[in-house]
């Protein structure tokens, strides 16, 4: 049940981040819904296709569709209360990657994958909905830019999941701690402007 709650919360967080990304581009209501939908389901869809789990999750469980529609309506209705779109987008995106990292890792474990591949799957689940969102909004995906730590935080959270799993602690803590680690790493990275170095071609001919 705790795992399912994490999955739903991740869907809500990513859907709302998609709404704010779409509104920043002044899209119509249909465009807003599409961006929210691909943001919330993109990473999980790619994950399910990779592990051969088809039909993908949102085609089987209609709850995700209802949750996304509800999140879109909520975000649109309360957009004036959350006026700072960039801050709102960052906040919900950060929460989303934390939640979805654990969801992806768990899906890898269920599929019997090696822990390393589970971390990769968690990172894909967390990041690629945002990649699709940014591409559709004509932006360079955050995961590919050197100005923010993004995938690195997901990898750290995925690795910590297996480390906590070796300790004699409650399963709820094993689920929750990696989420907090991902969120804290990204918040600290943005607060102190930490980033991976960009690779440039300095050969000017």
Query: Can you give the pLDDT at residue 83?
Result: 62
What residues contact 143, with CB distance under 8 A and at least 6 apart? Answer: 127, 130, 131, 150, 151
**Model confidence pLDDT, tens digit, residues 62-87:** 999 999 999 999 998 888 776 665 67
Domain ranges of the chain: 2-191
DSSP 111-173: TT--HHHHHHHHHHHHHHHHHHHHHHTT---GGG-TTS--HHHHHHHHHHHHHHHTSS--HHH
**Model confidence pLDDT, tens digit, residues 119-144:** 999 999 999 999 999 999 999 888 88
Per-residue pLDDT band at 190 (split at 50, 70, 90): confident
Per-residue pLDDT band at 41 (split at 50, 70, 90): very high
């Amino acid at each position: 049940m705790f795992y399912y709650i994490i999955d739903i919360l991740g869907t809500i967080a990513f859907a709302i981040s998609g709404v704010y990304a779409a509104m920043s581009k002044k899209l119509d209501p249909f465009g807003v819904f599409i961006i929210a939908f691909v943001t919330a389901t993109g990473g999980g869809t790619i994950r399910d296709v990779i592990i051969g789990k088809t039909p993908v999750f949102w085609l089987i469980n209609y709850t995700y569709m209802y949750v996304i529609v509800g999140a879109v309506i909520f975000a649109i209705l309360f957009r004036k209360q959350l006026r700072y779109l960039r801050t709102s987008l960052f906040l919900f995106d950060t929460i989303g990657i934390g939640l979805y990292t654990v969801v992806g890792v768990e899906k890898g474990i269920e599929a019997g994958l090696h822990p390393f591949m589970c971390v990769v799957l968690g990172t894909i689940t967390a990041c690629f909905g945002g990649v699709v969102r940014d591409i559709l909004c004509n932006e360079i995906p955050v995961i590919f830019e050197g100005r923010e730590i993004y995938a690195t935080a997901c990898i750290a959270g995925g690795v910590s999941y297996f480390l906590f799993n070796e300790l004699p602690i409650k399963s709820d803590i094993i689920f929750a701690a990696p989420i907090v680690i991902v969120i804290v790493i990204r918040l600290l990275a943005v607060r102190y402007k930490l980033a991976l170095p960009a690779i440039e071609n300095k050969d000017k001919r």
